[in-house]
Chains A and B, each alone.
Chain A
Amino acid sequence: MMEAFEQPAESPEAVRPLGRAIVITSGKGGVGKTTTTANVGTALAARGAKVVLVDADVGLRNLDIVLGLESRVKFHLLDVLEEKATLDEALIRDKRSESLYLLAAAQTREKEDVDTGLMKALVETLRARFDYVLIDCPAGIEMGFKNAVAGAQHAIIVCTPEVSAVRDADRVVGLLPNDWRPELIVNRLRPLLVKKGKMLSVDDVNGILRLPLLGVIADEPNVIVATNRGEPLALDALSETGAAYRAIAAKIAGEDVPAPEVRPASTGIFSKLGSLFGKRG
């Protein structure tokens, strides 16, 4: 059963240290998991790392379209798991980054079709070939989530400064293995609204979640434009969002990056959050 996953005969692969497998998750849908996966992956590859992005959103795949690779998908994750295609046949090289690859999700299958054990084995195989395995997790906490988490050793939680998102992120953190130390990216911050007291601040969000902060990304209409084109902003030297993702990639790679700027916290209307969640120990 493992034959399809075996590495090609280039022996240098066998002695490289295992790459890191990181799942990008959130609970709530639409907060920017896929955009984050695409951009962080692109930024890591731009630094020379070998990166594979795995779309675990079976049935509703979107990582391919965010990367502009939708026309190149021939085989997908389930094809590999079910040995209808080899990993090499399914891996799609990015248009722009030489060391960035995509393993697309199946579009016409269901999340329940993925065998957790096989998924774990696949991630292990990918770790042997890549420096980073980034797994784009679907919304929710059901089978799709469980399979995306299987095989990963680390998680990035993406959360927007909205009560529903924070609540869902909190739930997800509780479902991850106890020994994991997930890190937080706060996405779609609107500093002006935070100042007016109409939006949660980063402190408000992390006051509940209490996670190491990996990055803060301001809301930017260019994200929509970038997805329209299939060109991640991490490649755009002039984009603030791109810069934020590049900083996140640097931090993941172990660089000493200054702490993301945290806007002054707002108070008052968000005291109810405390009662909603209680403080997690």
Chain B
Amino acid sequence: MIDFFNKFFRPLPPSGATAKERLRLVLLSDHLSLAPDVVESLKRDLLAVISRYVEIDPAHADVTFERRDHDVAMLASIPITGVRRPGYDESPEPTPPPAPRPVRYDASSASAPASGGVAVATKAQAPSAPVSMELPMAAEPAPAPPVAVVPSGSDETPPKSAATSAAHRRRRRRRKANAAAKRNAQAQDDPPMNASAQA
């Protein structure tokens, strides 16, 4: 009798199916929290894959699982420190051309520029914006979902034509020279008294 009233006033899907689905999710969540070694391996592999595309800060990377109403999601927060580009082994950011500097030769003040008027090239630092990814988890092992990585920093694309390739090679040579100069300058304790200016 009671069942009749219940069904009449509250027509709901059979509870067995609801129960099975709830159990599936709760057990998925339980299993993940019970397998810290699996989570560690997952994190390691994830970071390895991502670092093929971007430079990351693994020490501050965080991978957690969040139980939501209808699924379990993996949340990864991974600080990105730079963007890798195929074919380059240094920062892709081009150095600005050296600013012309007045050279002052003043015996009384030792304020001559340390590197002889050449602007010191520094490696461009992308702000360490963490990348957040949300990946809903299926109960059965599914193929790895595509990773959407949003790099922070500039938006340059690799060169496509031969002419631009030559330009890039020139820039690369200049960058190497600047970097070498910087290393030389930093090796010296005192600025040279007789720094020769470069035009």
Instruction: Tell me, yes or no, whether A binds B.
Output: yes
Contact yes or no, A225 B15, CB < 8 A: yes
User: B15–A228 contact, CB under 8 A?
Assistant: yes
Given known A71-B68, A228-B16, contact A238–B2 (CB-CB < 8 A):
yes
CB of A229 within 8 A of chain B?
yes
Instruction: Report whether A229 and B69 are in contact in the complex, using a CB–CB cutoff of 8 Å.
Output: no
Chain B, Cβ-Cβ closest to A225: B15
When C-beta atoms are compared, the residue in chain A nearest to B5 turns out to be A238
Chain A contact-residue range equals: 10 to 19
Closest Cβ neighbor of B4 among chain A residues: A238
CA distance A222 to B10 in the complex (A): 13
Q: Given A73-B67, A238-B9, verify A65-B22 contact (CB < 8 Å).
A: yes
- Count chain B residues whose beta carbon lies closer than 8 angstroms to a beta carbon of A: 20
Question: Taking the complex as formed, is B26 at the interface, i.e. its CB lies under 8 A from any CB of chain A?
Answer: yes
Check B18–A108 contact: CB distance below 8 A: no
CB A59 to nearest CB in B, in angstroms, measures: 10
Q: Once bound together, how far apart are the Cα atoms of A72 and B34, in whole Å?
A: 18
Known A222-B2, A239-B2: A71·B19 in contact at CB below 8 Å: no
- Which chain A residues lie closer than 8 Å to B26 at the CB level? 65, 70-71
CB distance A71 to B33 under 8 Å? no
Name B23's closest neighbour in chain A (CB-CB).
Answer: A65
- B189 CB-CB contact with A under 8 Å: no
Q: B190 interface residue, CB < 8 Å from A?
A: no
B47 contacts A by Cβ under 8 Å: no
Q: How far is the CA of A107 from the CA of B33 in the complex (A)?
A: 8
- The residue that B34 contacts in the complex, of A108, A222, A227, A228, with Cβ under 8 A, is A108
Chain B interface, DSSP helix/strand/loop, else mixed: helix
- Does B30 touch A at the CB level, under 8 Å? yes
Q: What residues of A have a CB within 8 angstroms of the CB of B25 in the complex?
A: 70-71
Indicate whether A230 reaches chain B with its CB closer than 8 angstroms: yes
Contacts of B6 in A (CB 8 A): 222, 236, 238-239
Bound CA span A3–B134, Å: 34
Q: How far is the CA of A70 from the CA of B16 in the complex (A)?
A: 17
Number of residue pairs across A and B with beta carbons under 8 Å? 45
Least Cβ distance of A71 to chain B in Å?
A: 5
Render A82-121 as a binary contact track against B, CB cut-off 8 A, 1 for contact: 0000000000000000000000000110000000000000
Which residues on the A side are within 8 Å of B9 (C-beta)? 238
Q: How far is the CB of B67 from chain A (nearest CB, A)?
A: 5
Q: Is A240 an interface residue, CB under 8 A from the partner? A: yes
Q: Please indicate the chain A residues that have their CB under 8 angstroms from the CB of B2 in the complex.
A: 222, 238-240
**Residues of B close to A228: CB separation below 8 A:** 15-16, 18-19, 22
With A and B bound together, what is the CA distance between A178 and B135 in angstroms? 54
CB nearest neighbor in A for B66 = A74
B1 to chain A: closest CB distance in Å?
Answer: 10
Contact A108/B67 with A71-B25, A222-B2 known, Cβ cut-off 8 Å: no
Q: How far is the CB of B134 from chain A (nearest CB, A)?
A: 16
**Cβ–Cβ < 8 Å partners of B30 in chain A:** 107-108
| Bound Cα distance A108, B5 (Å) | 41
In the complex, which residue of chain B has the Cβ closest to the Cβ of A72? B67
Query: Binary interface profile of B, 1-41, with partner A (CB < 8 Å = 1, else 0)?
Result: 01101100100100110110010011001100110000000
Residues of B within 8 A of A224 (CB): 15
Q: Are A71 and B69 in contact (CB under 8 A)?
A: yes
A71 to B26, CA, bound (A): 7
CB-nearest residue of chain A relative to B6? A238
Least Cβ–Cβ distance between A79 and chain B, in angstroms = 12
Separation of A154 and B94 alpha carbons in the complex (Å) = 74
Chain B residues with Cβ under 8 A from A222's Cβ?
A: 2-3, 6
Do A70 and B22 have beta carbons less than 8 Å apart?
yes
Contact present for A229 and B18 (CB under 8 Å): yes
- Residues of A near B34 (CB, < 8 A) are 107-108
Chain A residues within 8 Å of B, Cβ to Cβ = 65, 68, 70-73, 107-108, 222, 224-225, 227-230, 236, 238-240
**7 CB < 8 A contacts A-B:** A70-B26, A71-B26, A73-B67, A107-B30, A224-B15, A227-B19, A228-B19
B interface residues, Cβ below 8 angstroms from A: 2-3, 5-6, 9, 12, 15-16, 18-19, 22, 25-26, 29-30, 33-34, 67-69
